[in-house]
Structure 1
Amino acid sequence: MALPLSASWTEALDDYALKLRGDSRTPATIRARREQLQHLARRIGVGPWEVSADALLAFVGSQEWMQETRRNRYACFREFWKWAKRTKRIDRNPAKHLPRVSASAPNPDPVPEQVYADAMKRSDERTRLIMRLAHDAGLRRGEIALIHSEDLRPDLLGWSLLVHGKGRKLRIIPLTPRLALDLRALPEGYAFPGAIDGHLSPRRVYELVDEVLPGPWSLHNLRHSFATNAHEASGGDVLTLRNLMGHASADTTGRYVRLSDARGRSVVYAAAGLAAPDKPTARLVAV
């Protein structure tokens, strides 16, 4: 049962947020860490400096988290209590003995093109643009939320977008003529205005797409669609795709790409001495 947030937890989270801000962590990261710790604080039953290793293990063991969620929560808890020990708030770190959780196996799951087309028809103009930015440019929800008119850049070949990525990392990606035209037609300022810092929150960006895409697909799966389509169109150029996706490692990029059925079938046919099957009709183009 969720309990009210105690004064000791409130003070601890405020101090920790200041520490993260001092480390130049992004507002999105600070919000996420606070929410993760608040979820624990409302259920653990004691203050932050009274949490024992056994109590923490009992709590995490009672949670039905997906593997990546569990991995992320454990990282948050380790970081929080490591800071607390370093600043002499505690003598022992209760998160020190949390088990290591390996990354989940790659499971690229692009949105089927017909599902995407149907969702586009059900959407309003704002949500369609958000979906296209994920599907046709590979942007994350946090990157979409931060798009500003000042980020549009003309170059010798067309228009590009300065993307504010994870960890405050910047990258420039080329825009299709249609995306560039639609972004340039918006009023000056944030592309998606909102009440938080002048723009929609990443969560709200995600929710708008979630309202029109049927489960199990989400905005993140549209990024899988971009990665898969771009990988196929480039003949498997992972280095270019890594830069477009904003990944530090090509291994991470590979987790987003599902090899096309046509390519796999062609290899099997060739191995059997058969001619490659006819290619399917061209994929649907975003409207």
Structure 2
Amino acid sequence: MTDANAFNPWRPVVRDYLDSLRAAGRRPMTVRLHEHYLRHLQRFARDPLKITVRVLERALAARRDWTPETIRSAASVFRGLTKWLHARGLIPTDPGLLLPAVRVPPGVARPIPDPILDLLLTAHLPGRSRWLLLLGGHCGLRVGEMALVHSNRLDGDLLFVVGKGGKERWVPVLDPDLQAAIRSAGGWLFPGRQDGHLSPGYVSKLLSELLPEHWTAHTLRHRAGTAAYRGTRDILAVGRLLGHAKPETTMRYIQLPMDSLYAVARAAA
């Protein structure tokens, strides 16, 4: 049986590394994201000072459900740790330098990885932050559409949305807490100074402060499109959710599921 009080060599290293990130002014959720991926890495090495490139590769390859974007995000965290360890003289060489670049297909959607969004949604965030994440990451709303969410535009679990060019659509809101928040708002969900609600620019600013570095409000919308297509394979319905007039536009918001690529490859073989 493992002694619960036994010394964990990871604990002081992770503590000092996260402190260095905070000292460098990194966003709180960026620090939390690093901590999240480092917990995963600890399963593959008992001692952080004995990490090898093979350990890093095993940790990245272990999660078959991770998309290329998620793998690249984790690899960036691993490289950050090993670079810091080497710079502090705690390890003789930097194994992160030997990690191969993670290839993400060019010219395709860039959805925020599910582990990052899940981490944000499970954090103790104020209601406004959580509603913005859900409206973008689950409902696929643009920042301008988020700013205009109003209690009188919710009918049951359907939200009436006016998008680009005045195009109208209905978007399901399935999270019960978000539904309740919209109903009880008694007006704009995000009150502000622009005709009584927040401006799209301010909504974008709030999300940029909330999300880890390299992720934007639009990557939440890409995530909604990607997840919706992964679960349905219905490009027309996904386009309706996102408010697109053409399937070609919707395809730019969807990161094609890997099982689809393998199915095509098997069919071609």
Calculate the TM-score normalised by the size of structure 2.
0.56
Whole-Å Cα distance in 2 between the matches of residues 220 and 173 of structure 1? Answer: 17
Any idea what SS the aligned residue of 1:211 has? helix
Q: Given the alignment, which residue of 237, 240, 257 partners 1:240?
A: 237
Offset of 1:144 from its aligned partner?
0.4
Cα contact 1:122–1:212 (8 A) shared by 2: no
Q: Which residue of 2 aligns with 1:252?
A: 249
1:147-226 map, 5 Å = 147-154=149-156, 159-178=157-176, 181-226=179-224
Offset of 1:169 from its aligned partner?
1.6
Q: Which residue of 2 aligns with 1:136?
A: 138
Q: Which residue of 2 aligns with 1:126?
A: 128
- Paired residues, what number? 163
Any idea what SS the aligned residue of 1:191 has? coil
Offset of 1:166 from its aligned partner?
1.0
1:1-287 map, 5 Å = 106-120=107-121, 121=123, 123-154=125-156, 159-178=157-176, 181-234=179-232, 236-268=233-265
Any idea what SS the aligned residue of 2:139 has? coil
Cα contact 2:229–2:238 (8 A) shared by 1: yes
Cα contact 2:173–2:179 (8 A) shared by 1: no
Whole-Å Cα distance in 2 between the matches of residues 259 and 222 of structure 1? Answer: 16
Any idea what SS the aligned residue of 2:193 has? strand
Cα contact 1:149–1:189 (8 A) shared by 2: yes
Offset of 1:271 from its aligned partner?
5.4
Cα contact 2:151–2:187 (8 A) shared by 1: yes
Offset of 1:178 from its aligned partner?
2.0
Give the direction of change, closer, same or farther, for the CA distance of 1:270–1:233 in structure 2 (3 Å limit): same
Give unmatched runs, 5+ long, in structure 1.
1-104, 273-287
Please give the per-residue CA displacement for 1:93-123, whole angstroms capped at 9, x wherever unaligned.
xxxxxxxxxxxx8430111111112333263
One-letter amino acid matched to 1:227: G
Whole-Å Cα distance in 2 between the matches of residues 258 and 108 of structure 1? Answer: 5
Offset of 1:175 from its aligned partner?
1.7
Identity, % of aligned positions? 37
Whole-Å Cα distance in 2 between the matches of residues 261 and 153 of structure 1? Answer: 36
Any idea what SS the aligned residue of 1:150 has? helix
One-letter amino acid matched to 2:110: D
Cα contact 1:142–1:201 (8 A) shared by 2: yes
One-letter amino acid matched to 2:171: I
Give the direction of change, closer, same or farther, for the CA distance of 1:184–1:213 in structure 2 (3 Å limit): closer
One-letter amino acid matched to 2:114: E
Calculate the TM-score normalised by the size of structure 1.
0.53
One-letter amino acid matched to 1:152: L
Give the direction of change, closer, same or farther, for the CA distance of 1:107–1:178 in structure 2 (3 Å limit): same
Q: Which residue of 1 aligns with 2:92?
A: none
Whole-Å Cα distance in 2 between the matches of residues 138 and 179 of structure 1? Answer: 17
Cα contact 1:106–1:256 (8 A) shared by 2: no
Offset of 1:270 from its aligned partner?
6.1
Any idea what SS the aligned residue of 2:170 has? strand
Please give the per-residue CA displacement for 1:175-201, whole angstroms capped at 9, x wherever unaligned.
214255333453201000001110011
Give the direction of change, closer, same or farther, for the CA distance of 1:199–1:225 in structure 2 (3 Å limit): same
Whole-Å Cα distance in 2 between the matches of residues 186 and 130 of structure 1? Answer: 16
Cα contact 2:143–2:203 (8 A) shared by 1: yes
